[in-house]
Structure 1
């Protein structure tokens, strides 16, 4: 469906119990990694070696990507996101909603410091002055009763008073909320966008940003596991492969490809991650706005199925794309082309085993 609109230091894996009537997520406490995976294998979470026939997606669910522009005024961006998500939920009945990368600010190294904000010490009580984007996302998720992948925001990590103020760090961070407004996970962009295509584009996120250091997987109790990564992360298939091996039904990437890399690789990468891993992939871009800033987003948010077919794709402007995700489609793809049973781990390693980081150091 296409609708125009007016305008994760612990591993946070969520689990549900069939014996529990409530769908409220439960966080596992901090455990050594081997103990944690033993715990996971005895729970209702899909095992690391999920095989075709196992329901990764517990019930069908509609996912919507809300493609909207970012202005130079943070408060305007936040209020517009609230209106846009409400409209998208009403029109599509989506239960999982995705916002774009840097939805609260213009995208650019010159902008990150001035738009960055710290995450609240107490996620249940964010400050309107210090944490406006966190508060806005929390409210949007709660008011609309949806799982919200809040695109990304520039995050500021403030040093303690004893530290040198110049040691402050900035991250490109996605905040994921549940339908009660609870923070489920954070993902800091792992791979920073440092590229130089002569005559086309040069961009160096590492001039300002620090990289995240973990893979982010979240279990949505009613549905199953998703993985969240940001933009340039999609070019590194290891993250996607690990997520698929750990039982995710969808890979979700807020991203802001530009007018050079977008036409070349945006859709291609979405389809590649889908066909490689035989699951759903969603990419959510800002809308293109040639009047703001010097970095212009490609747009073309899209949702891809496990056979790499594009289910819905936006154009350049403000728009919502949505699709019904059905676990049967994953099972059909994996039965028809049984890649998981045909992998040769006697020839090459299983990247999902061994040293995988699920928590920030």
Structure 2
């Protein structure tokens, strides 16, 4: 089977992990309705926090209070029968406490339709920047960096030709990771993100197109969008102090880009009116999908054989 239906889900995660899980489940249900094979969700889908201590507090609840809600919903949407089970997978960005440090891991996990976690990638590059007239962010204060590139893996026995490479947000600025994933067989690479508005305006789409053209792969970029409520887990608003009022805004504009650099899917960004995408519960989320064509990918790689033309003899010291 050469064609694969791939979706990006977009939302505005808060610090309320239960509410975030509810929206994820709505996106799963909508994906099933539209016969999606893979749903890619943003970085930090589980929560956005106020500070490092708050992040660690929430991360300690994810394995017991966030993931089970999604896993049970998957099982209810895709009940296993004696016949071959329906092909559906979710890639979702979550936090988990580090077993060795007092920080959290920024992870991307791959879950099947039975709620089983099959793969996990830990973010390599951490966003430590001080942008003029923009944000000052030091992700390393609360997040432990990963140490390994996860080998690309086939989607399934039904889709053996499609191989997925996992990366997260700031990783998109480091082409050596993109190249390593491609060199080891990836033809779908994902960059789930919570991009800042300042950098998003100028670099988000440009980086996605560049990585697509570099790798001659489909690039999937699910994104957080809008103003995040980092106090949503506080039951009494009157108790919120000034120090707890943290402004977090994500750029949005989730994208799916083909191997030629063509944008196939584009969702809203933070400056758009998001009201039309709110449901009866006043929950905001968006879903966009595209059918991936394997023959199209092969033709691009055949007509412009970048893999064969790379001068690995010259650049071997940085390619291995």
What are the equivalent positions in structure 2 for 1:104-183 lying under 5 Å apart?
A: 104-106=46-48, 109-110=51-52, 111-117=54-60, 131-142=64-75, 143-144=77-78, 145=86, 146-150=88-92, 152-158=93-99, 167-183=101-117
2:260 match: 307
1:200 match: 134
Question: 2:226 touches 2:249 (CA, 8 Å); kept in 1?
Answer: yes
Q: Which has the higher helix share?
A: 2
Distance 1:319 1:169 in 2: 31
What are the equivalent positions in structure 2 for 1:82-101 lying under 5 Å apart?
A: 82-90=25-33, 92-101=34-43
Mark the CA change 1:290 to 1:102 in structure 2 (over 3 Å): closer, same or farther.
Answer: closer
Distance 1:328 1:208 in 2: 43
When the two structures are superposed, what TM-score results if normalisation uses the length of structure 1?
A: 0.72
Question: 2:227 touches 2:247 (CA, 8 Å); kept in 1?
Answer: no
Mark the CA change 1:285 to 1:239 in structure 2 (over 3 Å): closer, same or farther.
Answer: same
Question: 1:300 touches 1:314 (CA, 8 Å); kept in 2?
Answer: yes
Q: Identify the match of residue 174 of structure 2 among 221, 227, 236.
A: 236
Query: Number of aligned pairs?
Result: 277
Question: 1:258 touches 1:297 (CA, 8 Å); kept in 2?
Answer: yes
**Displacement, 1:325?**
0.7
2:282 match: none
1:139-195 deviation line (CA, Å, top 9, x unaligned): 344434511101x12211346xxxxxxx43311111111223221111111111101
Q: Where do 5+ consecutive residues of structure 2 fail to align?
A: 79-85, 231-245, 275-284
Mark the CA change 1:175 to 1:139 in structure 2 (over 3 Å): closer, same or farther.
Answer: farther
Confirm whether residue 339 of structure 1 aligns to residue 282 of structure 2: no
Q: Where do 5+ consecutive residues of structure 1 fail to align?
A: 1-57, 120-129, 160-166, 354-361
What are the equivalent positions in structure 2 for 1:1-361 lying under 5 Å apart?
A: 59-90=2-33, 92-106=34-48, 109-110=51-52, 111-117=54-60, 131-142=64-75, 143-144=77-78, 145=86, 146-150=88-92, 152-158=93-99, 167-216=101-150, 217-221=152-156, 222-223=158-159, 224-289=162-227, 293-316=246-269, 317=274, 318-349=285-316, 353=320
When the two structures are superposed, what TM-score results if normalisation uses the length of structure 2?
A: 0.81
Distance 2:314 2:291 in 1: 37
**What is the CA RMSD across the aligned residues, in angstroms?**
2.0
